[in-house]
Structure 1
Amino acid sequence: MLVAVRSAGALHRLLDVLPVFDGDSRVVTRFTLVPGSRFDVDALSALELAGARTLPWEEALRVEHDLILAASPKGELRRLSGPLALLPHGAGFNKTIADDGSAGVPSGLDPHYLLTEGRPWAGLHALAHEEQVSRLAHASPGAAHRAAVVGDPTLDRLLASVPRREDFRDALETGPRRLIVLTSTWGPEALISRRPGLPADLSGLLPYDSFQIALVLHPNEHSGTGRFDLSRQLAPALSAGLLLPRPHEEWAALLVAADAVVTDHGSTALYAAALGRPVIAAYDGGHELIPDSPMARLLAASPRLSAASELPDALRAALAVDTRPLADSAFSQQGQALPQLRHHLYRLLGLTPPTGPVRTPAFPRPSTAPRRPPAFAVRAEVSGERITVRRFPVHTREPVQHLAAEHPTAGQREVQSAAVLWRRAQDAAARPHSTGWTAGGWTAHALAEAPACRTAVAILTPRRCLLRHRTARPLSLRLEPERAAGRVSYADPAAVASAVHAWLGADAAHAPPVSLVCDTGAITVRVRLEPAIADDLDYEL
């Protein structure tokens, strides 16, 4: 069997199909790169990483294959010899590309690519819904009689991953925050092309302890721009904690973990809708979206986001919309894609399928580590013994009262300007010939070395800190996590440090021991302040 790919996106699509052949030594898989796409670089890298065996294109042309599997009819694919099974490139056919094939027709339905002298050349069009067969019959009548509705293997993997939602959120360090996933297709009408500043704008507007932001880009954007330039272009948002998942599998884990999705006209949002995730439309219009397609209907039914400041209202409106029925016209045979594909693909191979069920694998736990911002602009409101804290990236335009920074991770400018400095204890054991700080020693040193600093905090554990303020004796802090419905949630001690700093500055008559309530947005915790004990002062950082 030959897997013929033109881009990383097509490869990822086909990899979701290959479990059909698991356990069958009769089927030998080879991959080849169909020339002609400018998005082929990442496909080669992914194949090498997977340890896949490849055939050079010229060698693939000389061989008669028992089965060819492809997710795009473009390029020189028809020069290959053997029965072809063709899958959609994504979730249906919702988008047309200017100056590519027949005007206004998606390439997956375009007779320019599907027919040769009026005759179909694919042996199977494996589609996800009956509506797609009707659209294929209208656009390319000669190809429709070779179509079969098999469902969508990528959606089935998403559905199989739903039980892992909490595991995914744990890997992403989301906690009780709301995870907002921006999804962008590629091309001039894509979200990332038209609103490149939206990730940074949202990061600067939404409190860090209440929201987590992620950006899922089309694989073509990863291939065309490259990870290096993407990291540079998105640097302000990435430094504020933006998640940028890898284009293979990890994007899907983000959809499973998401609380809501902000999307352009790319079909990724249809997968989110099928999972029941609230969808917010951020497509500014154009010529690419196919009218009355499933994606067009989803966008029409979703609240619109014209500016970052509208997100809270748009999110409330989106929560009132049941998105699952809106995805029903894109996906049928849910949970059955691999069994259906096994039947059709083995028919083309001329082999009897293996006995026993075929397993749909869940997506793996995401491995992209979230970046913790080393500095925050902080707004704190003190009302008696209750403090409400909201933390934003330093580039925010929101009203704030002080800067808090991590030592020594933050830049020199932030460290020298911060009113609150914090340092986290290291887990590693002491190395030979090394010197370290005690919590008491470092907090005193920080106040002496940073004139702007009013409060220095050593974070010893998630529930225990040592705090030294210029106008008070050292304090031991004990953080009690929030407990609700059988779950335990921990606030970031650095956020609590900013709350205590604000309380100490507002209440000149403070007299620990005292118990405070700290509201960080997603979590509300109790904090006990007492005169510092020796164990905290001597704790090795």
Structure 2
Amino acid sequence: MFAARSAIALNRLLDVLPVFAGDDRVERLFTLIPGSEFHVEALTSIERAHARMIPWDRARERSFDLIVASSPKGMFRLLRGRRVLLPHGAAFSKTIPGEGSEGSASGLDPVYLLHNGRAVAAFHGLAHPDQVRHLNSVAPRAAERAAVVGDPTLERLLASRTHRDRYRSSLGTGARSLVVMASTWGPESLLQRRPRLPADLATRLPHDAYQLALVLHPNARSEIGGFDLAQRLAPALDAGLVLGEPYEEWAALLIAADAVITDHGSTALYAAALDRPIIGVYDGGDELIPGSPMAELLDRAPRLEVEGDLQAAIRGHVPGSGPRLAESVFAEQGRALELLRQELYELLGLTPPAIQVTARVLPAPSPPVRAPVAFAARTYINGFQVRVERRPAHGDAPAHHLAAEFGVAGERLIQSAGLLYRRAEHSPESVYGLAWTVEAWLADVLENFPGCRTAAVIMSPSLSLTRRRGGPILTVSIGPCREDGRIMRTDPAAILSAVHAWLSSHPDPPAAITCEIGPYSFPVRISPATAEEAARVL
């Protein structure tokens, strides 16, 4: 029986499932322990996993060979059978004021680990010897039944590290720096104390240099609700923010990340184990336990200033510092599932299957559901070099021109844009077809939108066709950036902003320019379009 009170507790249990993989002697059942205000997301997760669920009242009536949980709270002790406790986070660095023993680490509180002086669990699996020592100091009776087995969730991250490029490809990150914001739950969390930070960063950081994602604690998602959360984050989501799902996707985002901005939640310790640069935004309070691993991590981490140089904080990271700290949190790395299986099968009185137990590789995260449809673009021309910085148009960033995607952006943005572009569509032809040629569409846009000075069509990542008002149709050929054996491309719309800026200040188009987009340079060739190119069908 897998017993959970909340989504975070259930998600931890799902990472343990490979321990019993391939064994038809084991029946896997789930139940939801009542009493938590965060139970809704847990129920959804059980249904999504297509797991067999037993109502709590029926679970109370039965006896089980083994009961596995990742939280001792609530009515866990009422379930009949050998009870096993696993952590539902990393390092036990947080205390919840007004709950259990004052100042006690959540998850290692004797109020919940003991009942009538006896340990509620037949076995307590912990991630590090320091945790066993701490447990022995606060609840010796519970520590008698504790052992170090490592962290099964960390095993999944470590097993998935080589999939980093695949995850970034799924996210559409490209050569940009992916910055993940990690928010725990409660009044001292990032999202509670700095609710505007996601939108501030999403609208102020150059879009072609950074991609942003948010990892939110499942309890916070349950408390806010999916609908209201989407409404609160709407400006950031419209600017391209990736909102990670609470199960598996958050971990894939950490692997894909270039840096993690964090409060005092334990997600950052997993990021540290992956050697990701950590940037702190925790403003202090009563929840973080002084001297804990998370407190030590935040003491070492640079602080985020919204107007500061985020790239400087990333560059200042000392490789290897995170894994060294993680060694004080996660022992037995690479062996957690093997050790846990030994302990659980011993409790069951069974011999484990003669197959190797392995952590499941994390699935690729879903692509962003929204993307900016218009940009406030600033351009800097120096000889034949043009640097472009684009930010989502609904922010307050100053701009040299507004660039909007035709057919996607709203009417106000379309009417105000100096650069209008569209992406060529290759949809199946219907019986009654209607299509534009490139030449006709460019002419129509320039005729009907007087504020537009340049119209363009993106044909592919390497080819666009553009026309300045009063000028000829030009072919824009975009080469990749090559660096250390990597071939990188950028959004052609950013290149079109560079071409638009050049044509706005020079009477004749150049044969070639170099476009600086983010930290990379892309060679661009410009030539008169051929009749065949102008006649291509959109």
TM range (shorter): over 0.9
Q: Note the alpha carbon deviations across 1:45-95, whole angstroms, 9 max, x for none.
A: 111121111001000001000000000111111111000110011112010
Deviates more, 1:247-256 or 1:356-365: 356-365
Q: Distance in 1 between matches of 2:338 and 2:535?
A: 63
Cα shift at 1:430: 2.0
Cα shift at 1:317: 3.1
Is 2:531 aligned against 1:534? yes
Cα shift at 1:225: 1.1
2:502–2:509 CA contact under 8 A, matched in 1: no
Q: Distance in 2 between matches of 1:227 and 1:437?
A: 40
Cα shift at 1:141: 1.5
Cα shift at 1:511: 4.5
Classify 1:362/1:187 alpha carbon distance in 2 versus 1 (closer, same or farther; 3 Å): same
| Correspondence for 1:164 | 163
TM-score after normalising by structure 2: 0.98
Match of 2:522 among 502, 525, 534: 525
Q: Within 5 A, what are the aligned runs for 1:357-372?
A: 357-369=356-368, 371-372=370-371
2:241–2:368 CA contact under 8 A, matched in 1: no
| Correspondence for 1:269 | 268
SS state of the match for residue 339, structure 2? helix
| Correspondence for 2:324 | 325
| Correspondence for 1:503 | 502
2:174–2:490 CA contact under 8 A, matched in 1: no
Q: Distance in 1 between matches of 2:369 and 2:532?
A: 32
Q: Distance in 1 between matches of 2:132 and 2:305?
A: 35
Cα shift at 1:21: 0.3
Deviates more, 1:425-434 or 1:358-367: 425-434
Q: Within 5 A, what are the aligned runs for 1:275-314?
A: 275-309=274-308, 311-314=310-313
| Correspondence for 1:384 | 383
Q: Distance in 2 between matches of 1:176 and 1:140?
A: 50
One-letter amino acid of the structure 2 residue matched with residue 7 of structure 1: S
Aligned residues: 538
Deviates more, 1:472-481 or 1:257-266: 472-481
2:275–2:321 CA contact under 8 A, matched in 1: yes
Q: Distance in 2 between matches of 1:503 and 1:396?
A: 25
Cα shift at 1:356: 2.6
TM-score after normalising by structure 1: 0.97
Structure 2 unmatched runs, 5+ = none
SS state of the match for residue 171, structure 1? helix
One-letter amino acid of the structure 2 residue matched with residue 131 of structure 1: D
Q: Note the alpha carbon deviations across 1:111-151, whole angstroms, 9 max, x for none.
A: 11010111112011100000111111112121011111000
One-letter amino acid of the structure 1 residue matched with residue 526 of structure 2: L
Classify 1:462/1:377 alpha carbon distance in 2 versus 1 (closer, same or farther; 3 Å): same
| Correspondence for 1:22 | 21
Q: Distance in 2 between matches of 1:419 and 1:362?
A: 46
1:115–1:143 CA contact under 8 A, matched in 2: yes
2:379–2:501 CA contact under 8 A, matched in 1: yes
Structure 1 unmatched runs, 5+ = none
Classify 1:308/1:361 alpha carbon distance in 2 versus 1 (closer, same or farther; 3 Å): farther
Q: Within 5 A, what are the aligned runs for 1:101-180?
A: 101-180=100-179
Q: Distance in 1 between matches of 2:258 and 2:381?
A: 30
| Correspondence for 1:354 | 353
Q: Distance in 2 between matches of 1:463 and 1:313?
A: 31
| Correspondence for 1:210 | 209
Cα shift at 1:506: 1.2
One-letter amino acid of the structure 2 residue matched with residue 518 of structure 1: C
1:185–1:266 CA contact under 8 A, matched in 2: yes
Q: Note the alpha carbon deviations across 1:213-263, whole angstroms, 9 max, x for none.
A: 111000111111122111110111111111101111000000000001110
1:490–1:523 CA contact under 8 A, matched in 2: no
Q: Within 5 A, what are the aligned runs for 1:438-457?
A: 438-457=437-456
Q: Note the alpha carbon deviations across 1:463-491, whole angstroms, 9 max, x for none.
A: 11110111311111111111222221112
| Correspondence for 2:58 | 59
1:209–1:522 CA contact under 8 A, matched in 2: no
Q: Note the alpha carbon deviations across 1:311-366, whole angstroms, 9 max, x for none.
A: 34433333577221111111000011100010000111111111231111111111
SS state of the match for residue 250, structure 2? helix
Q: Distance in 2 between matches of 1:386 and 1:61?
A: 72
Cα shift at 1:309: 3.3
1:205–1:309 CA contact under 8 A, matched in 2: no
1:158–1:252 CA contact under 8 A, matched in 2: yes
One-letter amino acid of the structure 1 residue matched with residue 445 of structure 2: A
| Correspondence for 1:260 | 259
Is 2:392 aligned against 1:393? yes
One-letter amino acid of the structure 2 residue matched with residue 191 of structure 1: L
| Correspondence for 2:199 | 200
1:201–1:308 CA contact under 8 A, matched in 2: no
Kindly, what percent of the aligned residue pairs are identical?
53
